[in-house]
Amino acid sequence: MLIRYEKFLEEFDKTLDNYFNGHKQYICCKKGCSFCCEIGEYPFSRLEAEYLMKGFLELSPETQKKIKQNIKYLVENKKYTNYKCPFLIERECSLYKYRGLVCRTHGLAYLDNGIVKLPECVNRGLNYSSVYDSENKELIIENPIKENLRTDSIFQSSPAKNYKLECGEIRSLIKWFLQTE
Ligand code: SF4
Ligand code: SF4
């Protein structure tokens, strides 16, 4: 299943590249900008969590130790909502290749059942802030992304079906680590 998922990701990343390119005038993402990994819920399916852990095993013992400490801190303090992702180390994703779908799509505005979903950083003057009317909560662009980029919708899409992916349950990332405590 992980091999099929990797093949799917290759295709999906190309689709996302096109979306990011199409909206590049509204996008401010750059190395070192990590607000989107500093507060959130990070919904991950079982499949994505397994893939992330595959990457974790390839990390250096030092980085693994830092991540384990971050997870321990979140679990001990019951920080299950609005938390900093434990895989963010020195403002960079330690598992970039293995990151989840929510991480890959983050930063894009898209339509979710007719409602525009915007990245949180629009309120920090970052992505889409130049084309967002905050008073009327309206995005003023001519080419909104019509594909629903929510994790559950992506797994129901034709490309995911073509790869026969079974994503399993979707949980907030930290909740995948509660059973091990
Ligand atoms: S989505 Fe927003 S917070 Fe995240 S890297 Fe891009 S600009 Fe920065
Ligand atoms: S896995 Fe990486 S990209 Fe995803 S939220 Fe965590 S640090 Fe950010």
Domain boundaries, the chain: 2-177
pLDDT exceeds 70 at position 180: no
Residue 107 near ligand 1, beta carbon < 6 Å: yes
> Buried b / exposed e across 39-50, counting CB within 10 Å, b at 16+?
ebebbbbebbbb
**Could you read off the pLDDT of 29-53 as tens digits, one per residue?**
999 999 999 999 999 999 999 999 9
Is the pTM higher than 0.85? The answer reads: yes
Residue 98 near ligand 2, beta carbon < 6 Å: no
Q: What band does 11 get if pLDDT is binned at 50, 70 and 90?
A: very high
Q: Supply the residue whose CA is at minimum distance from atom 4 of ligand 2.
A: 103
Residue 95 near ligand 2, beta carbon < 6 Å: yes
Residue 93 near ligand 2, beta carbon < 6 Å: yes
**Could you read off the pLDDT of 122-150 as tens digits, one per residue?**
999 999 999 999 888 889 998 889 999 99
The length of the chain is 181
Q: Supply the residue whose CA is at minimum distance from atom 2 of ligand 2.
A: 93
Ligand approaching nearest to the C-alpha of 103: 2
- Report how far ligand 1's centroid is from the alpha carbon of 1 (Å): 30
Ligand approaching nearest to the C-alpha of 34: 1
**Cβ pair 173, 44 in contact under 8 A:** yes
Q: What band does 181 get if pLDDT is binned at 50, 70 and 90?
A: very low
- Report how far ligand 2's centroid is from the alpha carbon of 59 (Å): 15
- Report how far ligand 2's centroid is from the alpha carbon of 136 (Å): 31
Q: Which atom of ligand 2 is nearest to the CA of 92?
A: 7
- Report how far ligand 2's centroid is from the alpha carbon of 174 (Å): 12
Q: At 70, list the tokens.
A: 């971050």
Q: At 3, list the tokens.
A: 């091999």
Q: Mean pLDDT for the chain?
A: 94
- Report how far ligand 1's centroid is from the alpha carbon of 26 (Å): 11
Using DSSP, how many helices (H) and how many strands (E) does the chain show? 7, 8
Residues 152-168, mean pLDDT to the nearest whole number: 95
**Cβ pair 127, 121 in contact under 8 A:** yes
pLDDT value of position 179: 65
Residue 42 near ligand 2, beta carbon < 6 Å: yes
pLDDT value of position 122: 95
**Could you read off the pLDDT of 65-120 as tens digits, one per residue?**
999 999 999 999 999 999 999 999 999 999 999 999 999 999 999 999 888 999 99
